[in-house]
Structure 1
Amino acid sequence: MRISTVTMFEQSVSSMNRQQGEFMKIGQQIATGRRVVNPSDDPQAASQAVGVSQSQAVTQQYADARVTARNSLSQSESVLNSVSDAITSAKTLLVKNSSDTLSDADRKSEANVLRGIYETLIGQANATDGNGRYLFGGYQDDAPPFARNADDSVTYVGDNNTREQRIDASRLMPVADNGEAIFQTIPSGTGYVAIAERAVGSTGDVTFSGPTRVDSTVAGYGENKYTITFTADDEFEIATIDSTGNTIATDTRTYTSGDPIVFGGLSMKLSGTPDVGDSIDVNPADHADANQDLFTTIKRAIDVLEAPLDGDPGLKADLKNALSTSMRELDNSLDNVLTVRASVGARLNELDVVDAVGDNRMLNYEQTMSDLVDLDYTQAISEYSLRQVGLQAAQKAFVDIRGMSLFDRM
């Protein structure tokens, strides 16, 4: 078989090109740190790597969503902390003004302080996040959720929804609470609130303290409403009204100033001289007839403090009863705000847990991706040296073959 010079040259060049190609491939792998540079290097590993890469991208999106959720919840928690401090300050101020030692001028001055707290609460209720969206307006987050009326009262104009964000594949988390639920709602089971009302033309000066819980296992506790009505100077009637508004029981008792009265699992202390027709309504905190609006509570307290008493015993009794009612309503509002704040804190803790799970998941994806496409440098460097020797050998063989000639034998 004849082997021509052209054939020898072609085989030598083909061998060098093959060796050089393998050598460059190993060099590219070392330079990139990846075993699979092109899908053709390992089609199965490349296909699996695409799926893992997509999973990594989705996991990162959830991580970014958790950052946004954490920022929103942290701002809400900070605002609610300020709100709880404001409510506590308002309660302290009302306790101070329940004293008989203050003059009308003193109370009016204190009303100005309370008005400052009122303005602070409105500002906090209309707080925004870092993106200019209002925290407590529900989906209507482009306008203040609480609007001022002509009479200086406050109305909620947001919606009843709660903004949510998906922080993981199986978790849709509320990232902002509804303002109405925070500032104008009292949860059931909070307790009772008493409101005194003097009859038209009454000169009575009865004041109350309480009510306080004695036995919450009594039938109808937290649902029934009670109305205490004075039928004589030394007699009153307690009417029990169910949740549908029907009077289901009445109880007539003798009145003695300063003695506590117990009814429906509650205890109250009445003092002073009543007039016929004077009454006290004792409503569950979440009853339709009870005030659940924090702004209304403070606004009423401001109006009461600004009104002069002129030494009238009846007006003094009205002041004490109104402040007592306001203080109980502030307690209920504070409990509600603290409950919401605790919920926000629980969600922040949940974000930490989900973050830890997401980080572990990302580490697993990175390890899987590394096993699929990353390079074993020890093996690669060894093969790189081998391919280099092979390329040099092919080049040396080509040089030797090219120099061979039959003329050298003649």
Structure 2
Amino acid sequence: MATTFARLGSYNAFDTATRNLTTRQNTLSSLQEHITAGKRVLRPSDDPTAAAQAERAQTRIARVDTDQRALAMQKNSITEAESTLGEANDAMQAFREKLVAAGNGAYNATDRNSIVQELTSLREQIFTYSNRTDSNGIPLFSGLGSAAPPFVDATTGVQYAAIPGQRPNGEVSVTPTLDGEAAWMSVPTGNGVFAVDFGAANTGTAWSDLGQVTNPSAVTGNNYSIQFSVNAAGVTTYDVTNTTTGTAVATGQPYTSGQAIAFDGMSMVIKGAPKTGDSFAVTPSVKTDVFAVLDKAIAGLKNAGPNVGTLTHGITQALTQIDAGMTRLQASRGLAGDLLNRVDRVDASQQTRAVQLEGDRSRAEDLDMIKALSDQANQQTGYQAALQSYAQIQKLSLFNYLS
């Protein structure tokens, strides 16, 4: 029977044991490094796939953080715009109340001049609101963009120097500015369909309300003139003429104060006592601006003089125009409120996304501490056993038995 012999040199045994100890020591050292950092992946070589996933998640987290900072700035701008519109609306209300007070029959010219000064101050204050800027110096009502003040107070009236329109909202952003033209420059004259204007040469005490549409299909959109005549017997009549076509609509109609005058789908109530030659112009409604409304109200009060009809008509028309202007400001304020609600929704969505991305990053590179500590304890035990075994084997040698 053949016998098999194996040779195992002492040096080879010692070298193998040393390599095993070094490997265990390196493994334990690497495990301690990962535990200290709390990371399963410290470098791409640890797990290339997980490292790439963690990097992508970290990049997206940084993008979300950037978007959130930009969204916070946009929110601040819209909040400032909403607050400014509220202040402007309050100033408009104060203007309206003082204008109503100016119609008090007990006031004289001096009293009304004092009110005119107050109204002028309020008008300048409201104009200041229109050019207010955010913390970065960007006008709040610059529409599609303008670094310069969007409103210019020229001798011919206030002009909108910016680009009208509303910037579109992004998936994770909102427009930081509002359309100034829509907020301040889109006030319809009259009742929104037609306007009744007081004749410049009127000397009587007649004045008109805003009128109303009685038959929309009959409204022509033409210009009309209502002319009054008073005969020797004191009977007042009126003629209605379509000044666009030059045709008579009504002739010699008896006038009664407070009775509606109706023609071509429109109706208006004129009160007071007109004189021969007094007239009212009925024109299609056009677009004006808040500042023109305020300027016209101030001018009407300043130039009314002792004519009660002029004063009453001017105040009546101005109050309605002011109400229309306040409606436009409120509409823009409502839009600002909608944008702030959108900011809250986007912010909540982005926070949820950030949490999800942080979870993706954590799953890719973070260390399971409980498992890692258990592995460390096992590695330490194994390393200690290997050291003890090596120490015992190292003492064994053939020379220990030769003697």
TM-score, normalised relative to structure 2: 0.86
For 2:360 and 2:47, locate their aligned partners in 1 and report how far apart those are by CA, in whole Å: 15
Q: Which moved more, 1:374-383 or 1:316-325?
A: 316-325
- Residue 307 of structure 1 is aligned with which of 278, 286, 303? 303
Letter in 2 for 1:269: V
8 Å CA contact retained: 1:297, 1:330: yes
Superimposed CA distance per residue, residues 297-337 of structure 1 (whole angstroms, 9 cap, x where no aligned partner): 2122222333362x3xxx33222222222111111110000
Residues 1:187 and 1:401: Cα distance change in structure 2 (over 3 Å):
farther
8 Å CA contact retained: 2:206, 2:273: yes
C-alpha deviation, 1:219, in angstroms: 2.1
Letter in 2 for 1:341: R
C-alpha deviation, 1:10, in angstroms: 2.2
Residues 1:225 and 1:182: Cα distance change in structure 2 (over 3 Å):
farther
For 1:280 and 1:121, locate their aligned partners in 2 and report how far apart those are by CA, in whole Å: 30
Partner of 2:362: 370
Partner of 2:388: 396
Residues 1:193 and 1:84: Cα distance change in structure 2 (over 3 Å):
farther
Partner of 2:226: 229
Letter in 2 for 1:154: V
For 1:187 and 1:405, locate their aligned partners in 2 and report how far apart those are by CA, in whole Å: 111
For 2:191 and 2:67, locate their aligned partners in 1 and report how far apart those are by CA, in whole Å: 37
For 1:93 and 1:346, locate their aligned partners in 2 and report how far apart those are by CA, in whole Å: 32
Partner of 1:218: 216
Partner of 1:250: 249
For 1:22 and 1:240, locate their aligned partners in 2 and report how far apart those are by CA, in whole Å: 101
For 1:38 and 1:56, locate their aligned partners in 2 and report how far apart those are by CA, in whole Å: 20
For structure 1, the residue ranges without an aligned partner over 5 or more in a row are none
Equivalences for 1:155-304 in 2 at 5 Å? Answer: 155-162=159-166, 166=170, 168=172, 173-186=174-187, 191-192=192-193, 194-198=195-199, 200=201, 202-212=202-212, 218-219=216-217, 224=221, 227-230=224-227, 232-233=229-230, 234-238=236-240, 250-251=249-250, 253-262=253-262, 267-274=267-274, 275-276=276-277, 278-284=279-285, 287=286, 292-304=288-300
Partner of 1:50: 55
Residues 1:42 and 1:159: Cα distance change in structure 2 (over 3 Å):
same
8 Å CA contact retained: 1:230, 1:236: yes
C-alpha deviation, 1:279, in angstroms: 1.8
Letter in 1 for 2:270: L
Residues 1:341 and 1:405: Cα distance change in structure 2 (over 3 Å):
same
Superimposed CA distance per residue, residues 231-274 of structure 1 (whole angstroms, 9 cap, x where no aligned partner): 53433345679xxx778993554321121334566543201233
Residues 1:220 and 1:347: Cα distance change in structure 2 (over 3 Å):
farther
Letter in 2 for 1:332: A
C-alpha deviation, 1:88, in angstroms: 0.9
8 Å CA contact retained: 2:211, 2:267: yes
Superimposed CA distance per residue, residues 374-407 of structure 1 (whole angstroms, 9 cap, x where no aligned partner): 2222211110101111221222232223222111
For 1:345 and 1:247, locate their aligned partners in 2 and report how far apart those are by CA, in whole Å: 49
For 1:11 and 1:187, locate their aligned partners in 2 and report how far apart those are by CA, in whole Å: 97
Partner of 2:330: 338
Letter in 1 for 2:401: R
Q: Which moved more, 1:91-100 or 1:133-142?
A: 133-142
- Residue 380 of structure 1 is aligned with which of 356, 372, 378? 372
- Residue 34 of structure 1 is aligned with which of 39, 43, 54? 39
C-alpha deviation, 1:94, in angstroms: 1.2
For 2:60 and 2:191, locate their aligned partners in 1 and report how far apart those are by CA, in whole Å: 47
For 1:112 and 1:296, locate their aligned partners in 2 and report how far apart those are by CA, in whole Å: 17
Superimposed CA distance per residue, residues 42-66 of structure 1 (whole angstroms, 9 cap, x where no aligned partner): 2222222222222222222222221
For 1:271 and 1:63, locate their aligned partners in 2 and report how far apart those are by CA, in whole Å: 60
Letter in 1 for 2:280: S
Tell which structure's C-alpha radius of gyration is larger: 2
Superimposed CA distance per residue, residues 11-54 of structure 1 (whole angstroms, 9 cap, x where no aligned partner): 12211121112112221222122222222222222222222222
Q: Which moved more, 1:14-23 or 1:273-282?
A: 273-282
C-alpha deviation, 1:372, in angstroms: 2.1
8 Å CA contact retained: 2:174, 2:343: no
Letter in 1 for 2:159: T
SS in 2 for 1:154: strand
Residues 1:128 and 1:247: Cα distance change in structure 2 (over 3 Å):
farther
Residues 1:59 and 1:136: Cα distance change in structure 2 (over 3 Å):
same
Letter in 2 for 1:218: P
Identity rate of aligned residues, in percent?
26
For 2:67 and 2:321, locate their aligned partners in 1 and report how far apart those are by CA, in whole Å: 41
8 Å CA contact retained: 1:72, 1:129: yes
Letter in 2 for 1:203: T
8 Å CA contact retained: 1:147, 1:155: yes
8 Å CA contact retained: 2:85, 2:333: yes
Q: Which moved more, 1:191-200 or 1:374-383?
A: 191-200
Aligned length in residues: 390
8 Å CA contact retained: 1:228, 1:239: yes
C-alpha deviation, 1:354, in angstroms: 1.5
C-alpha deviation, 1:84, in angstroms: 0.6
- Residue 154 of structure 2 is aligned with which of 139, 143, 149? 149
Residues 1:230 and 1:249: Cα distance change in structure 2 (over 3 Å):
closer
TM-score, normalised relative to structure 1: 0.85
Residues 1:237 and 1:307: Cα distance change in structure 2 (over 3 Å):
closer
8 Å CA contact retained: 1:148, 1:155: yes
Partner of 2:108: 103
For 2:54 and 2:283, locate their aligned partners in 1 and report how far apart those are by CA, in whole Å: 68
SS in 1 for 2:148: coil
8 Å CA contact retained: 1:193, 1:329: no
8 Å CA contact retained: 1:165, 1:175: no
Residues 1:127 and 1:319: Cα distance change in structure 2 (over 3 Å):
same
8 Å CA contact retained: 2:146, 2:163: no
Superimposed CA distance per residue, residues 64-94 of structure 1 (whole angstroms, 9 cap, x where no aligned partner): 2211111010000010000111111111111
